[in-house]
Amino acid sequence: MQNSLISLRDVPHFDDTADVLVIGYGIAGVCAALEARRAGGDVLVVERASAGGGASALSSGLFYLGGGTAVQKACGFDDSPDDMYRFMIASMGSENADLVRRYCDENVSHFDWLESQGVPFERTCYEGKAVFLLGTEGLLSTGNEKLWPYREIARPAPRGHQATGEGESPGNVAMAALTTRCEDEGVRISCDSQVTALIADDTGKICGVRLRREGKTLHYEAGTGVVIASGGFAMNPDMVRENIPVLPDTAEPLGSPWNDGCGIRLGLSAGAATNAMEGVIATASIYPPGQLIKGIIVNKFGKRFVAEDSYHGRTAAFISEQPEQRAYLIVDEEIFAYPEIESARHQLVDGYENIEEMEAGLDIPAGALSRTLRQYNVAARKGEDPLFYKHPDWLKPLENGPYAAFDISFNRSFYLFMTLGGLEVDSDARVLDKKGRPIPGLCAAGACTAHIPKSGKSYASGMSLGPGSYFGRVAGMTLMSQ
Amino acid sequence: MQNSLISLRDVPHFDDTADVLVIGYGIAGVCAALEARRAGGDVLVVERASAGGGASALSSGLFYLGGGTAVQKACGFDDSPDDMYRFMIASMGSENADLVRRYCDENVSHFDWLESQGVPFERTCYEGKAVFLLGTEGLLSTGNEKLWPYREIARPAPRGHQATGEGESPGNVAMAALTTRCEDEGVRISCDSQVTALIADDTGKICGVRLRREGKTLHYEAGTGVVIASGGFAMNPDMVRENIPVLPDTAEPLGSPWNDGCGIRLGLSAGAATNAMEGVIATASIYPPGQLIKGIIVNKFGKRFVAEDSYHGRTAAFISEQPEQRAYLIVDEEIFAYPEIESARHQLVDGYENIEEMEAGLDIPAGALSRTLRQYNVAARKGEDPLFYKHPDWLKPLENGPYAAFDISFNRSFYLFMTLGGLEVDSDARVLDKKGRPIPGLCAAGACTAHIPKSGKSYASGMSLGPGSYFGRVAGMTLMSQ
């Protein structure tokens, strides 16, 4: 598997030519292709699998969108671009401020665009705590909007928009609609095609790709440029080990088999900068059921370290930083339930008559958990959490023994993960080199670029399909306007 | 220069013995010594220099304290421990939540304790923007309290408490008072003494130190334990280069010549964990005068990347992350002034009749700075900053040419720095090993431990002397209560 940059001078002849070549036919690629086509381009998508869809089609079909979309309005939520921006910047950092501002300001029209392409969204909202939906509701809270301190910085609103499909996976519904539209509009697709190199002309502009298809090496020309949209690198064990040492062997990647970082390596070969390569969103949620959020999460020293009402990916990120990556969910009889996310495989360690027994059973230093629980209970009775400001809705003293403990350790339960790092891009989806300059003729979008949230601490479900779809469109427009 | 761990079995005999040995006679060491002495201990401080004071005596004498101290109250500020905690956790992260909670809850009494030791604080407040005070005011805003989003999370209050001394450096005044008190109370001091190893008994407990003094190797016994309080590592070029690659050659360390990380290396030899070793607070402030905050700061692509009303250390941290570490302060004729911090040596690049000329002069891509300024001015006229929420007090359209640009690049101006990383400790000032367990007999405090703010983005002036003095006291109390 090669990922290199070759010179136009070394290309014997071009086997095909288009205005815009798109590498990857997932959410970012399909949206890039649609916009480049609408702008009048001859567009050729090169896809490694035998059909389009990628990791997006395997996903739960959640788009993080807001600012007052039609679904939010229909469900009675009064979101604004500014609230969305403030939440995103406060939780995810200001590194990409102009890119985030553009995303938030354009979100309502981007939602309308997705619907106009045939992606269906129900005007219904799921009010409970869920990681993904079993029903067809169109709206769900999927991030840390209600978490302190974010709830004090921006008015919370649910922003996870789920594509709707009867009896079908929502991600697949969205991708089927978009790929159908692409083909209806005359975008050409070359499947079973593995790009092995970018081609640069003498000025350094990216002007084509080399690929392997059916045992042959082919060269395709790109008149205006290339869009890399080939997903993350969760399926590349070497890249994961090198970049994300925090992940234990038990962690399992989410995505398509082709999410092996090939697009990132293509970008690197052209001199691209990467960002947040250590970033990972891992998940093994304690909820549903929501009542478990009323428990406390402690480390092996019996100390709390995260607000239990955090988004599951944030909780996981904090667990990953604890001594020996150990963590326990402690509940009392009143709220006892088994976590419902089966893939997490959180084990019930045991039930205990009192906290002293639990300390012994969990090998927590004697007195440490008792002290934590005593302080927690005193404050919880007043509806307060002076350490982490867990929302009063989830606060109750844990005083109805017997107690139980679930082992939710990062290296003992099974955490699923996606990678967050990738190529550095600007708000026009142009790939940047190590000096911050756009590489001519090269755009990128989706999970092969650095996500807006650079850590599981700030991820929200839908932050892959949402920005991936929007900046995919931007990439197509950028190349056609040059 | 050795920093190792040796076995008690290899110690020929002890040349001296005490209950508590304190390594370093700066702010953390002096406070540790005072509390251990008050608890009845025989205390011996081992100091490498020929006299006490360390970097603390060279500093501007600012303690970050709040929650409603006597100075805050006298100056009319209504601070609370909870507001202080919320600000600190929101800006500095929740990693050390219990430690920060303890600090904030105990801050009012800690201030009283400092005064009772003879450290003087005037009941006066400086209202302007300053990095350090030329006058003797006792209170100053020294952090990001008024910066968005923190101003929405916690009620801002000035928390920089400056020790007062007529015609003397405030840091020296504070240290002179504390070292005098120490000696009055019978703390023993061994100057010109370089600790070269910790001594551990067969159980792993730290029970003494080996040191060099006047050409001799000596062994001192510690009956209850050792406090490492020997400062940061800014003066160790190898450690700085290895841990803080972001610093350019032009950056200059602040501190005493002995801030070479010896205490961190002693801790490492005993199996200690470190934290935030890449953390650095660098500074080359654009203010005073405050009017310059009404300018905009852009990178080499003409883009803003930080709220210009940030604390100077935060601004520096963002500048350090920009392409080629380049940044410019852009002002118009109305607010033009020269930055007053001389050590920064910010150069006036030139004056320009219009923005197009400035783009050419600064080698910013044509049109980029014009676009930034146009967007900034449109919003500033409405008293808004939709990208970074700079406080309306500092917002004005920059439309009165001619314009001027100062080069405030991280690698062209002169940034002074201190290190923020160090030994990992718990809220009892006990040094933790890599599995998170306290190392028996070993405490640490001050700049040889990881600061509460782990980055210049969240540092506030006084975050060294403030927590250094408080957790120094905690270290002394912890060892004497064991």
pLDDT tens digit sequence for B461-473: 999 999 999 999 9
d(CA A216, nearest CA chain B) in Å: 41
Q: Is the pLDDT of residue A1 over 80?
A: no
Q: Is the pLDDT of residue A341 over 50?
A: yes
Residue B63 phi/psi, 5-degree rounding, is -110, 125
Q: Does B98 touch chain A (CB under 8 A)?
A: yes
Nearest to B264 by CA among B234, B219, B241: B234
The burial of B12, by beta-carbon neighbours within 10 Å (0-12 exposed, 13-18 middle, 19 or more buried), is given as: exposed
Q: How many CB atoms lie within 10 A of CB B442?
A: 31
Distance CA A420, CA A240 (A): 11
Angle at B326 between CA B339 and CA B336, to 5 degrees: 25
The set of residues, in sequence order, having a beta carbon less than 8 Å from that of B169 and lying 6+ positions away, is B57, B58, B60, B61
Q: Does B382 touch chain A (CB under 8 A)?
A: no
Distance CA B428, CA B451 (A): 15
The per-residue pLDDT for A286 is: 96
Domains B1-279+421-482 and B285-407 fall in the same CATH topology: no
The per-residue pLDDT for A2 is: 62
Q: Does A314 touch chain B (CB under 8 A)?
A: no
Interval A459-471 mean pLDDT: 98
Q: Does A382 touch chain B (CB under 8 A)?
A: no
Q: Which of A94, A303, A322 to mutate to test the interface with B (most CBs of B within 10 A)?
A: A94
3-state secondary structure of B406: strand
Q: Mean pLDDT in chain B?
A: 96
Distances (CA, A) of A191 to A101, B171, B177, B279: 35, 70, 77, 47
Nearest to A329 by CA among A414, A407, A402: A407
Closest-CA residue of chain B to A84 = B386
Residue B71 phi/psi, 5-degree rounding, is -70, -45
The per-residue pLDDT for A473 is: 98
* Chain B residues lying within 8 Å of A368, measured CB to CB: none
Q: Is the peptide bond prior to B402 cis by the omega test (within 30 degrees of 0)?
A: yes
Nearest to A455 by CA among A95, A58, A81, A67: A95
Nearest to B158 by CA among B72, B244, B60: B72
Of A66-70, A166-170, B191-195, the range with the lowest mean pLDDT is A166-170
Q: B386 vs A82: CB contact, 8 Å cut-off?
A: yes
Q: Tell me which architecture the domain covering A1-279+420-482 has in CATH.
A: 3-Layer(bba) Sandwich (3.50)
Q: Is the pLDDT of residue B7 over 50?
A: yes
Distance CA B61, CA B462 (A): 8
> Do the Cβ atoms of B76 and B475 come closer than 8 Å?
no
Tokens of A348: 């019930």
Distance CA B185, CA B38 (A): 8
> Do the Cβ atoms of A18 and A223 come closer than 8 Å?
yes
The set of residues, in sequence order, having a beta carbon less than 8 Å from that of A411 and lying 6+ positions away, is A248, A249, A250, A324, A325, A326
pLDDT tens digit sequence for B279-291: 999 999 999 999 9
The pLDDT-based confidence of B382 (bands split at 50, 70, 90) is very high
What predicted TM-score, i.e. pTM, was given to this entire model?
0.95
Distance CA B314, CA B352 (A): 28
* Chain A residues lying within 8 Å of B94, measured CB to CB: 305-306, 387-388
Distance CA A109, CA A114 (A): 9
Q: Does B90 touch chain A (CB under 8 A)?
A: yes
Q: B94 vs A306: CB contact, 8 Å cut-off?
A: yes
The pLDDT-based confidence of A133 (bands split at 50, 70, 90) is confident
Tokens of B54: 């360390």
Q: Mean pLDDT in chain A?
A: 96
Nearest to B328 by CA among B357, B354, B356, B359: B359
Distance CA B3, CA B1 (A): 7
Residue in this structure with the two tokens 């550095």, named with its chain if needed: A424
Q: Is the pLDDT of residue A289 over 60?
A: yes
Distance CA B194, CA B191 (A): 8
The pLDDT-based confidence of A304 (bands split at 50, 70, 90) is very high
Distance CA B159, CA B465 (A): 12
Q: Which of B80, B82, B98, B145 to mutate to test the interface with A (most CBs of A within 10 A)?
A: B98
Tell me the H-state helices in A18-161.
27-38, 54-58, 70-74, 81-92, 97-105, 107-116, 150-153
pLDDT tens digit sequence for B179-235: 999 999 999 999 999 999 999 999 999 999 999 999 999 999 999 999 999 999 999
d(CA B400, nearest CA chain A) in Å: 25
Q: Is the pLDDT of residue A445 over 60?
A: yes
Pairing of strands A43-46, B193-200: unpaired
Q: A97 vs B305: CB contact, 8 Å cut-off?
A: yes
Interval A378-386 mean pLDDT: 97
The per-residue pLDDT for B1 is: 47
Residue B19 phi/psi, 5-degree rounding, is -75, -50
Interval A211-228 mean pLDDT: 97
Distance CA B478, CA B32 (A): 10
Tokens of A304: 């709390």
Q: Does A153 touch chain B (CB under 8 A)?
A: yes
Q: Which fold has domain A285-407?
A: Flavocytochrome C3; Chain A, domain 1 (3.90.700)
Considering only the C-alpha atoms of chain A, give the largest distance between any 2 of them, rounded to a whole number of Å.
Answer: 77
Q: Does B300 touch chain A (CB under 8 A)?
A: yes
* String of DSSP letters for A345-376: -PEEEEEESSHHHHHHHHTPPTTHHHHHHHHH
Q: Which of A83, A87, A95, A152 to mutate to test the interface with B (most CBs of B within 10 A)?
A: A152
Closest-CA residue of chain A to B424 = A323
> Do the Cβ atoms of A160 and A141 come closer than 8 Å?
yes
* Residue A163 DSSP one-character state: P
Tokens of A10: 């070394």
Residue A59 zone, left/alpha/beta (φ > 0; ψ -120 to 50; rest): beta
The pLDDT-based confidence of B93 (bands split at 50, 70, 90) is very high
Pairing of strands A125-126, A139-140: parallel
Nearest to B163 by CA among B185, B184, B183, B133: B133
Tell me the H-state helices in A106-221.
107-116, 150-153, 170-184
pLDDT tens digit sequence for A190-211: 999 999 999 999 999 999 999 9
Q: Is the pLDDT of residue B132 over 90?
A: no
Say what percent of chain A tops pLDDT 90.
95
Tokens of B224: 């209850």
Q: How many CB atoms lie within 10 A of CB B366?
A: 10
The pLDDT-based confidence of B129 (bands split at 50, 70, 90) is confident
Closest-CA residue of chain A to B457 = A93
Distances (CA, A) of B47 to B53, B123, B188, B194: 9, 33, 11, 7
Distance CA B390, CA A409 (A): 41
Tokens of B266: 């002693």
The per-residue pLDDT for B3 is: 78
The per-residue pLDDT for B2 is: 61
3-state secondary structure of A196: strand
Residue type, A174: A
Closest-CA residue of chain A to B150 = A153
d(CA A272, nearest CA chain B) in Å: 13
The per-residue pLDDT for B358 is: 97
A:B CB pairs within 8 Å: 64
The per-residue pLDDT for A37 is: 98
The pLDDT-based confidence of B165 (bands split at 50, 70, 90) is confident
Q: Is the pLDDT of residue B168 over 90?
A: no
Q: What angle, 0 to 180 degrees and rounded to 10, lies between the N-to-C axes of helices A170-184 and A27-38?
A: 30
Q: A324 vs B436: CB contact, 8 Å cut-off?
A: yes
* Residue A145 DSSP one-character state: T
Q: Which CATH superfamily is domain B1-279+421-482 in?
A: FAD/NAD(P)-binding domain (3.50.50.60)
Q: Is the pLDDT of residue A5 over 70?
A: yes
Interval B41-50 mean pLDDT: 98
3-state secondary structure of B81: helix
> Do the Cβ atoms of B226 and B206 come closer than 8 Å?
yes
Give the domain ranges of chain B. Answer: 1-279+421-482, 285-407
Q: Does A305 touch chain B (CB under 8 A)?
A: yes
Nearest to B208 by CA among B448, B473, B442: B442
The per-residue pLDDT for A427 is: 97
Distance CA A248, CA A240 (A): 11
* Chain B residues lying within 8 Å of A436, measured CB to CB: 299-301, 322-324
